[in-house]
């Protein structure tokens, strides 16, 4: 079959993007929305949409590793998700533990560092131990960092950072006059990672839902109707082509954004 010219141009464009690192995001964040609606559409039993969603992440992770993305952060469980029906919360907690166990060999294979962000205090001690263990075992991997946000909220994150600064003031280690955005930035989650430069939300809603508020201050936003279990590397690749075009168009501004890390 002959490849249509438009497809050839698209392929060439995405090859070119990957060769110019300044046109590629360093840090992609994803709000993986639409699992329950996927379950409804496919007449699955309650909760099975989340199982489908769990499996959709693997090809996305592999694609990100292969294109040299440094950090991929996904919203697995928000601080607001605690208000979902108790049996859904219980299922999600079981799925989280199951997924972490399942993912370990893959993390080894692809040399991916696994990290977790969020308020761990409401999580079971078993889950907390599993998370700490996974972080320790993958700490030296360098192909990519996969960040899983669990019991995470952007407002919690900023409040938590403010509390750290307040403690420093109380201990006489910091003057109130010296509090500024750089000082606060040093204490939000992922302070040592590059800022989020691409934020994707699947599932057709146009909200940030309290995800990485501070870290996404300059992020390019991408929304798709695609439900999370249907999201593919192909669609991500199309978004990356769009991202590169936005970077080209706003060349000057994006250069300024590129250099500003969160630390």
> Which residues are the active-site residues?
33, 81
DSSP annotation of 119 = -
Q: Which is nearer to ligand M2E, 102 or 167 (CB)?
A: 102
Alpha-carbon span 24 to 262, nearest angstrom = 18
Q: Are 154 and 121 in contact (CB under 8 A)?
A: no
Nearer to ligand M2E, 106 or 160 (CB): 106
In whole angstroms, the minimum distance from the beta carbon of 177 to ligand M2E comes to 41
- All residues at 6 or more sequence positions from 233 whose CB lies less than 8 Å from its CB, including other chains: 59, 60, 62, 63
Nearer to ligand M2E, 99 or 168 (CB): 99
149 vs 188, which CB is nearer to ligand M2E? 149
Q: What is the closest distance, in whole angstroms, from the C-beta atom of residue 27 to ligand M2E in the complex?
A: 17
**Using CA of residue 12, residue 18, residue 23, residue 27, what is the dihedral sign?**
positive
Question: For residues 10 and 230, which CB has a smaller minimum distance to ligand M2E in the complex?
Answer: 230
Asked if residue 190 lies in contact with residue 215, where contact means CB atoms within 8 angstroms, the answer is yes
b/e 82-93 (16+ beta carbons within 10 angstroms → b): eeeeeeeeebbb
Residue nearest to ligand M2E (CB): 76
**Least Å from the CB of residue 255 to ligand M2E:** 33
**Shortest distance, position 111 Cβ to ligand M2E, whole Å:** 15
- In the DSSP assignment, the letter for residue 44 is P
Q: Which residues bind ligand M2E (CB under 6 A)?
A: 50, 53-54, 57, 74, 76, 92, 95-96, 99-100, 103, 114, 148
In this complex, which beta carbon is closest to ligand M2E, that of residue 92 or of residue 161?
Answer: 92
Query: Taking the complex as a whole, how short is the minimal distance between the CB of residue 250 and ligand M2E, in angstroms?
Result: 31
Tell which residue, 34, 41, 31, 61, has the closest CA to residue 225: 34
- Asked if residue 216 lies in contact with residue 208, where contact means CB atoms within 8 angstroms, the answer is yes
Structural contact between residues 155 and 210, judged by C-beta atoms closer than 8 angstroms: yes
Residue 223 CA to chain centroid, in angstroms? Answer: 14
Closest approach, Cβ 92 to ligand M2E, in A, equals 5
Instruction: Give dist(CA 260, CA 174) in Å, integer.
Output: 24
């Amino acid at each position: 079959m002959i490849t249509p010219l438009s497809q050839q141009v698209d392929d060439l464009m995405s090859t070119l993007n990957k060769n110019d690192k300044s046109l590629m995001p360093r840090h992609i964040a994803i709000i993986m929305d639409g699992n329950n609606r996927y379950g409804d559409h496919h007449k699955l039993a309650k909760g099975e949409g989340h199982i489908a969603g769990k499996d959709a992440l693997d090809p996305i992770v592999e694609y990100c590793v292969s294109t040299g993305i440094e950090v991929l952060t996904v919203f697995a469980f928000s601080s607001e998700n605690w208000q979902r029906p108790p049996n859904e919360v219980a299922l999600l907690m079981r799925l989280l533990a199951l997924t972490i166990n399942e993912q370990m060999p893959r993390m080894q294979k692809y040399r991916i560092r696994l990290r977790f962000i969020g308020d761990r205090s409401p999580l079971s001690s078993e889950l907390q131990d599993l998370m700490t263990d996974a972080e320790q075992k993958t700490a030296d991997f360098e192909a990519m960092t996969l960040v899983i946000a669990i019991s995470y909220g952007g407002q919690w994150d900023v409040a938590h950072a403010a509390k750290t600064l307040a403690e420093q003031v109380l201990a006489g280690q910091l003057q109130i006059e010296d509090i500024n955005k750089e000082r606060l930035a040093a204490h939000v989650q992922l302070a040592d990672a590059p800022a989020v430069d691409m934020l994707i939300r699947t599932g057709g809603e146009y909200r940030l839902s309290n995800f990485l508020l501070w870290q996404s201050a300059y992020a390019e936003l991408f929304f798709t109707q695609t439900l999370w279990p249907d999201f593919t590397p192909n669609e991500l690749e199309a978004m990356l082509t769009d991202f590169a075009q936005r970077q080209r168009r706003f060349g000057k501004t994006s250069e300024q954004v590129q250099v500003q890390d969160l630390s």
